[in-house]
Amino acid sequence: MSDQKMSKRLFGTNGIRGIVGTEMTPDLALRIGAALATMRRGSIAVGRDTRTSGEGLAHAVKAGILMCGCDVIDLGILPIPALQYIQRGRCDAGAMVTASHNPPQYNGIKIIDSDGTEMGDAEIIRLESILFDGGFSAASWDQVGTERSGAHLLDRYIEGVVSRFPAGIGDGMNVVVDPGSGPAALTTPRILSQLGCRVYTVNAQLDGRFPGRLPEPSPEGLKALSEMVVSTGSAFGVAHDGDADRAVFIDDQGRYVEENHEFALIADHICSQEKGIIVTPVSTSRLIEDVAEKYGCSVDYTPVGSIYVARRMKELIAAGERVVFGGEGNGGLIYPGFQFCRDGGMTAAMMVALLAARRADLSSMLDDLPAYCLIKEKISAENRHELIERCADLFSSEVTDLSDGVRISRGRTWALIRASGTEPLVRLMVESDDIKAAEAFCREIMDAIAPLLG
């Protein structure tokens, strides 16, 4: 069984996030730092994205850590996968001040464990209880921590990614990078350039007001990137979210690449070289099963959330299984040979490797993928957990996964019914290669649950 989700009071699936000044305050940041240093001895890496509130909140986190007796390595502004890479084996934990793809008025904190993965639910619940109970282990004057700068360590991440690929693999390839004024401005252009690409950039100035586009790399926000890909005759454009654990693409014709298509193409490239298991949440498109079947690989499903994917990959490997790839259908992809976290810089580099290997345009590869259509519904339900259990009974002969809600498969059509973690509603997704089959299955499920809705 994969890690099951556990209830947390403050932290969500991707750390804690809130509006600066009301929900995300220096006091909270300080207490998170203090709680983390109470749980871990030794040194803690601290990094941040480019948000205007990042510097102040990072100072607060560091104050909490230092006064509870741990040392701080301040990595400054950097992508979260870079912090995870640098920290692993060097520090006892990490804290990243970021709100990922949220708008500029938000900020938050993600906690990284000593192995470079996001801290698991059980440990986060322990951290929350220290934070709420105030059980901090304040250090005496001669035991408080010290801080040193680790800004120079960023080069190791860039070298780490580049060293995974043959020299000059991107020679002759034009590419455009849109870091969205976030920390990937410091890494992805250098990575792609060191692979041999000619790199153009847009929104590559560090700016927490996000003047060019919001941190979420949406199709509407990437118009400038799309235009530049076409005008420079580039092979692709790549954009990152606010902490650069995700990468999304624009193809050579200037079209936004749906993230499940990105996942499938990169999975196809990896599985063509190495057979094994692909790990992904239950909400991912069936396209990934098509790719796996083509190469005799298999798909292992987890609850929704990258931490469950990363931990499941490690668990399978520890059990002697061969895991070749993992990730989510939102451009957050995990390369087990490199590290067990979503990595936007590595994904940008992998796209160069994929195009170099195939010697075909990204647009034509995308056009060759099987077409699926997706229907999404939100249903208000006070008794959402009971409703999920009833669905599992009603469709028991077709249920293929129960790790997060109910996944039901019927030939090339599948559905997922999940309860919201925070609101009284359930989410229904139905995907099929035949729109009529998807609509009919969606209606059948809606009819089946209608009597259960109050």
User: 405 — alpha (psi -120 to 50), left (phi > 0) or beta?
Assistant: left
* Residues 152-191: x where in contact with Mg ion by CB under 5 A, - otherwise, as a string: ----------------------------------------
The span from the CA of 146 to the CA of 164, in Å, is 34
**Total residues binding Mg ion (CB under 5 A):** 4
User: How far, CA to CA in Å, does 109 sit from each of 27, 31, 89, 144, 306?
Assistant: 13, 12, 21, 22, 16
Q: Which residues contact 402 (CB under 8 A, 6 or more apart)?
A: 392
In 3D space, the residue among 201, 200, 191 whose CA is nearest the CA of residue 170 turns out to be 191
The span from the CA of 56 to the CA of 54, in Å, is 6
To Mg ion, the closest distance from the beta carbon of 62 in angstroms equals 22
Q: Which stretch binds Mg ion (CB under 5 A): 194-202, 236-244, 281-289, 297-305?
A: 236-244
Closer by beta carbon to Mg ion, 241 or else 268: 241
Q: Which stretch binds Mg ion (CB under 5 A): 5-13, 109-117, 238-246, 354-362?
A: 238-246
To Mg ion, the closest distance from the beta carbon of 185 in angstroms equals 15
The span from the CA of 33 to the CA of 103, in Å, is 24
Tokens matching residue 208: 């927490």
Q: At what angle do helices 287-294 and 259-271 cross, to 10 degrees?
A: 10
Give the other-Cβ count within 10 Å of 230's Cβ: 15
To Mg ion, the closest distance from the beta carbon of 80 in angstroms equals 7
User: 73 — alpha (psi -120 to 50), left (phi > 0) or beta?
Assistant: beta
Task: With residue 27 as reference, give the H or E element that holds it.
Answer: helix 26-39
Footprint of Mg ion on 435-454 (CB under 5 A): none
Closer by beta carbon to Mg ion, 82 or else 381: 82
Closer by beta carbon to Mg ion, 158 or else 247: 247
Q: Which stretch binds Mg ion (CB under 5 A): 199-207, 241-249, 357-365, 424-432?
A: 241-249
**Residue 328 near Mg ion by CB under 5 A:** no
Q: Which stretch binds Mg ion (CB under 5 A): 114-122, 168-176, 235-243, 253-261?
A: 235-243
Give the other-Cβ count within 10 Å of 346's Cβ: 27
To Mg ion, the closest distance from the beta carbon of 110 in angstroms equals 9
Closer by beta carbon to Mg ion, 118 or else 241: 241
Q: Are 427 and 443 in contact (CB under 8 A)?
A: no
* Residues 26-65: x where in contact with Mg ion by CB under 5 A, - otherwise, as a string: ----------------------------------------
Give the other-Cβ count within 10 Å of 427's Cβ: 18
Q: Which stretch binds Mg ion (CB under 5 A): 25-33, 212-220, 233-241, 314-322?
A: 233-241
Which residue is closest to Mg ion by CB? 100
Footprint of Mg ion on 61-120 (CB under 5 A): 100
Closer by beta carbon to Mg ion, 99 or else 161: 99
Closer by beta carbon to Mg ion, 100 or else 339: 100
The answer to whether residue 432 is catalytic is no
Residue of 49, 92, 216, 243 that binds Mg ion (CB under 5 A): 243
The one-letter amino acid code at 99 reads A
Q: Are 139 and 145 in contact (CB under 8 A)?
A: yes
| Active-site hit among 43, 100, 226, 285 | 100
To Mg ion, the closest distance from the beta carbon of 100 in angstroms equals 3
Closer by beta carbon to Mg ion, 17 or else 261: 17
Residue of 245, 328, 343, 431 that binds Mg ion (CB under 5 A): 245
To Mg ion, the closest distance from the beta carbon of 241 in angstroms equals 4
Q: At what angle do helices 259-271 and 344-358 cross, to 10 degrees?
A: 60
Give the number of C-alpha atoms closer than 13 A to the C-alpha of residue 269, restricted to the C-beta side.
21
To Mg ion, the closest distance from the beta carbon of 348 in angstroms equals 14
To Mg ion, the closest distance from the beta carbon of 101 in angstroms equals 6
The one-letter amino acid code at 120 reads G
Task: With residue 299 as reference, give the H or E element that holds it.
Answer: strand 298-302
SS3 label, residue 104: coil
**Residue 241 near Mg ion by CB under 5 A:** yes
In 3D space, the residue among 267, 260, 266 whose CA is nearest the CA of residue 283 turns out to be 260
* Residues 135-154: x where in contact with Mg ion by CB under 5 A, - otherwise, as a string: --------------------
- The residue ranges that bind Mg ion (CB under 5 A) are 100, 241, 243, 245
Q: Which residues are catalytic?
A: 100
